[in-house]
Amino acid sequence: MSKALPLEPAPDLRGRLALVTGANSGIGFGVARRFAQAGAEVVLAVRNPAKGEEAARRLGGRVRVEQVDLASLSSVRDLCDRLNAEGRPLHHLVNNAGILAPPQRSLSPDGFELQLATNHLGHFALTGLLLPLLREAGGRVVSVASLTARTARLSPEDLQGGTYRPYAAHGTSKLAQLVFALELDRRARRHGWGITSNAAHPGGVVTNLQVTGPTLGGHRAGLAARLSTRIYRLPGLGNDVARASLLPFFAATGGRAEGGAYYGPAGFAELAGPPARATIPARARDARTAARLWTASEELTGVAFPGSGD
């Protein structure tokens, strides 16, 4: 078990702008609710606008909906074009949207494996294209990783290769997201971008991810999805959505949350509990792997950050 970090008073975020991807349900909705309750203006970046509008009505406050499909680079660019045209400084970006373990290999509109496209490449492009707004605000970027990153493998030169295994592919996409978060902070410091980046994982939590991924294409949810759903509902072995949403929110706003850090639950095996420092997998700490992933991600998305090639 990790030592829980001291609880902090709710921050006053009036006058600040936050964008949360996948914010119409689950952890994303919980994070958006925390931002709204703290007084921030919140952009719900969602794939389904109707579901986003329903979420906005439930949240109240200064909340608006923007459509984006993280699996589609053209959709990501369209959203970023709209936000950059507005020119509003962006104080908080929470890269949360994700898909979990489709039973069969599916491709994004750009030809990438769907989990890699949604969980990592879309967020990589989103962050790069919104970097001017983040820099203007001295913003903080939080990437929501997963416990599946612990045992995942990552080959930056062959991100989509090999036999497709649903949960292994999910782990790879989430490990890539974690590596990106840590490398983004390193590069921000090196190049003086004036932003910070960290990551958080929610522990064991049951959301619609356990249903939407494993049932894509009309398939029944797999054994792993059904088993994890039951386990995470046991006392001490899972967070509910309200508590799980505290992890990314703390990473995005907490005074004790640092750039280049990784946060997860303080309880047994990082499955449940309040925020604490999470264990960073060895593969996520390797600077050479991070540099290779960064280069591959820029090539695949066509989005280059300042200082690329340094």
The whole-angstrom distance between residue 287's C-alpha and the CA centroid of its chain comes to 21
Question: Which sign does the torsion angle of CA 262, 164, 123, 144 carry?
Answer: negative
0.95 cut: is pTM over it?
no
pLDDT tens, position by position, 1-41: 678 898 788 899 999 999 999 999 999 999 999 999 999 99
pLDDT tens, position by position, 178-202: 999 999 999 999 999 999 999 999 9
pLDDT at 214: 46
Regions in the chain scoring below 70 on pLDDT: 1, 206-238, 308-310
pLDDT at 198: 98
Q: Is 164 a catalytic residue?
A: yes
The catalytic residue among 164, 167, 232, 263 is 164
pLDDT at 161: 72
The candidate with the shortest Cα–Cα distance to 76, out of 26, 117, 134, 135, is 117
CA-CA distance, 163 to 293, in Å (whole number)? 20
C-beta atoms surrounding 184 within 10 Å: 27
pLDDT at 239: 75
Q: Is 256 exposed, middle or buried (0-12, 13-18, 19+ CB in 10 A)?
A: exposed
Rounded to 5 degrees, φ, ψ at 143 are -110, 130
> For the residues of the chain, what is the DSSP string, one character each?
-PPBPPP-PPP--TT-EEEEETTTSHHHHHHHHHHHHTT-EEEEEES-HHHHHHHHHHH-SSEEEEE--TT-HHHHHHHHHHHHHHT----EEEE-------SS--B-TTSSBHHIIIIIIHHHHHHHHTHHHHHHHT-EEEEE--GGGGG----GGGTT-S---HHHHHHHHHHHHHHHHHHHHHHHHHHT---EEEEE---SB--THHHHTTTGGGPPPPHHHHHHHHHTTSTTS-B-HHHHTHHHHHHHH-TT--TT-EEEESSGGGSSSSEEEPPPPHHHH-HHHHHHHHHHHHHHH----TTTT-
How big is the CA angle at 151 (ends 122 and 245), to the nearest 5 degrees? 55
